[in-house]
Chain A
């Protein structure tokens, strides 16, 4: 059995609408490379409709297929119609996604909505859309602190030299998190020890 459906593989291998728009009317970005997936959507709007759309995605096969599918679903729609596209609809349109990918990779509708909201905000302020700020890809370990004793921890260490505790990281964002808590203090993901 293949990992992904034929439709997901088609959108992954031959993604539609990849790239940048030279003068986007709205730009939306969700996720970040540290979390695993990141999607950037650019739209150009004419007569309240999405006249053109482009995306760029850092992430797995599902994340790329989702982005491609969203771009196809949104193109030509009015902004209100496009705002009604949900992540669930995208997954359905793709013929389903593996269960474990439903949440992490399926962010396409969020990125689209962010682009539309960006456009609407700029209509009010009259400012042109900006290509997203350059991302700083941080060394994950640089600003580590031990969640138990707050001592600074070496970047490559899984051990606090101060209190000698070994620690866990948040499965979602990779930062150090005390897994006895419900949620990661950094990214808000719920932390299940055996998730």
Chain B
């Protein structure tokens, strides 16, 4: 295959680290190495880097630095919050409440808790992916150890009313966790202005390296440790801190905060061009998620009568890289529980395609992708036995 320009629309999966973050990391790896637990100067310089990074990350989400617990990944932070808070509060209430559109790193830990004897309640969402605060209120009438509702879905883009949801939980004295990894760096977050007890973020999503993420836990929220064997992170998470990655995350957080409005405005332009352009060019393409309350950098659709993996493979031949929630693209071959929760029929959900944009994308790339999708979709539909039926007027 000829070498061609890559049109990368899968920033949910991975994105380039900021060069400033990489510079800082390579300095620390080569010359600035040190273990913050060491008494000597080298160790203490590393400890200083760690605390500086904590301040920068805290600033990005408007929180007190002391609440930040650095982890390796967002999945680790989610596991830590769900299992850790629920187990610490099991005697108060052996119930866990999550939404139907959580990431697997919330769903599976919640399932594990069910096996431990917790009752698991899953809140439905409406057609746009929104959780109903009234339903949370009702579900809380029997109490809960912890509630977790995703801040913004990376699959459908919907931004949940976390301020309102957290207030309902605060009224009942129940800790509220939110998974903000897709939201941090794209929308303004003022964590300390909301009664959110715990929040997950990941550095890679705003230009940090992979391998650095955080759980932010407010003072007074009880949480059992997930990883034991050391006093790091104020005795919350054992294991030597990944100082280079954490420092890189700190640099990225500082830049992301400084450029937040500008980045969001650019991403919204790209997103809206795709949201307007794609269904306008190809019939029977439906937008998934909320039409307005959505992540700046995410456009998600279902292309009816075809399956997403074939679409991704054809687009990849044109250098266009995107994602899909179709069952065929998941390792386990399970359909997306998020699309199912929207009430989409399984055949439509199979045509899922998700574009997640980054600041280096351009309007020209959106137009290119829309243009290239037209013949690919026609071709797959010509091959599809359910499209023939559509033309016969049965759908």
A contacts, CB < 8 Å to B: 3-4, 9, 12-13, 15, 18-20, 29, 33-40, 56-64, 100-101, 104-105, 132, 134-141, 154-159, 164, 166-167, 169, 171, 173-174, 195
Question: Which of B121, B306, B326 is the most central at the interface, judged by chain A CB atoms within 10 Å of its CB?
Answer: B121
Chain A residues lying within 8 Å of B332, measured Cβ to Cβ, are 100, 171, 195
Residue-wise, chain B 305-322 has the 8 Å CB interface mask toward A (1 for contact) of 111011001100100000
Question: Is B345 in contact with A57, judged by CB distance below 8 angstroms?
Answer: no
29 contacts between A and B (CB under 8 A): A9-B313, A13-B313, A13-B314, A18-B383, A19-B382, A34-B346, A36-B328, A37-B307, A57-B384, A59-B328, A60-B328, A61-B313, A104-B333, A134-B392, A135-B385, A137-B345, A137-B348, A138-B345, A139-B345, A140-B340, A140-B346, A156-B127, A158-B124, A158-B340, A159-B100, A164-B139, A171-B327, A171-B333, A195-B332
Which of A56, A156, A174 has a CB less than 8 Å from the CB of B384? Answer: A56
Assembled-state Cα–Cα distance A62/B328 (Å) = 9
- Of all A-B residue pairs in the complex, the 7 with the closest CB atoms, nearest first, are A166-B122, A60-B328, A156-B343, A33-B347, A157-B124, A158-B100, A134-B394
Q: How far is the CB of A53 from chain B (nearest CB, A)?
A: 15
Cβ contact within 8 Å between A56 and B121: no
A58-B306 contact given A64-B383, A157-B124, CB 8 Å threshold: yes
CB atoms of A58 and B385 under 8 A apart: yes
**Nearest chain A CB to B380 CB, angstrom units:** 8
Query: Min CB distance, B112 to chain A, in Å?
Result: 11
**Contact across chains for A58 and B394 when beta carbons are under 8 A apart:** no
- CA A135 – CA B382 in complex, angstroms? 16
Q: Which residue of B lies closest to A39 (CB)?
A: B385
Provide the residues of chain B in CB contact with A135, threshold 8 Å. 385-386, 389, 394
B341 and A158 contact, CB distance less than 8 A: yes
Instruction: Let me know if B317 and A141 touch, CB within 8 A.
Output: no
Interface residue ranges of B176-224 to A (CB < 8 Å): none
Chain B contacts for A15, CB-based, 8 A: 383
> Looking at chain B, what size class is its interface with the partner chain?
35 or more
Q: How far is the CB of A65 from chain B (nearest CB, A)?
A: 10
Q: A166 and B121: CB pair below 8 A?
A: yes
Question: What A residues does B307 contact at CB under 8 A?
Answer: 36-37, 58-60, 63
The chain B residue with its CB closest to the CB of A18 is B383
Please give me the residue from chain A that is nearest to B123 by CB atom.
A159
Distance in Å: Cβ of A66 to nearest Cβ of chain B: 12
The answer on a CB contact under 8 Å between A12 and B313 is yes
Q: Are B124 and A33 in contact (CB under 8 A)?
A: no
Closest-by-CB residue of A relative to B335 is A174
Contact between A158 and B305, CB atoms less than 8 A apart: no
**Binary A-proximity of B119-158 (CB < 8 A = 1, otherwise 0):** 1111111110000000000010010000000000000000
Query: Are the C-beta atoms of B345 and A34 separated by less than 8 Å?
Result: yes
> Does B276 interact with chain A (Cβ within 8 Å)?
no
Closest residue of B by beta carbon distance from A15: B383
In the complex, which residues 294-313 of chain B have their Cβ closer than 8 Å to any Cβ of chain A? Answer: 305-307, 309-310, 313
Query: What chain B residues lie within 8 Å of A33 (beta carbons)?
Result: 346-347, 350, 386
Alpha-carbon gap, A155 to B127, bound state (A): 10
Closest to A4 in B: B313
Report whether A159 and B122 are in contact in the complex, using a CB–CB cutoff of 8 Å: yes
- Asked if B293 is at the interface of the complex by the 8 Å CB criterion, the answer is no
Assembly CA distance A39 to B347 (angstroms): 14
Besides A158-B124, A169-B340, 18 new A-B residue pairs in contact (Cβ under 8 A), listed by A number: A4-B313, A13-B314, A13-B317, A36-B335, A37-B307, A37-B328, A56-B388, A57-B383, A58-B385, A59-B310, A60-B310, A60-B326, A100-B331, A155-B343, A158-B337, A159-B121, A159-B122, A166-B122
Contact call B343/A56, Cβ cutoff below 8 A: no
Who on chain B is nearest to A34 by CB? B346
- Known contacts A136-B394, A159-B100; A36/B386 CB under 8 A: no
Shortest C-beta distance, A115 to chain B (Å), equals: 13
* CB <8 Å contact, B120 and A100: no
Minimum CB–CB distance from A72 to chain B (whole Å) comes to 15
- Is A156 touching B341 in the complex (CB atoms < 8 A)? yes
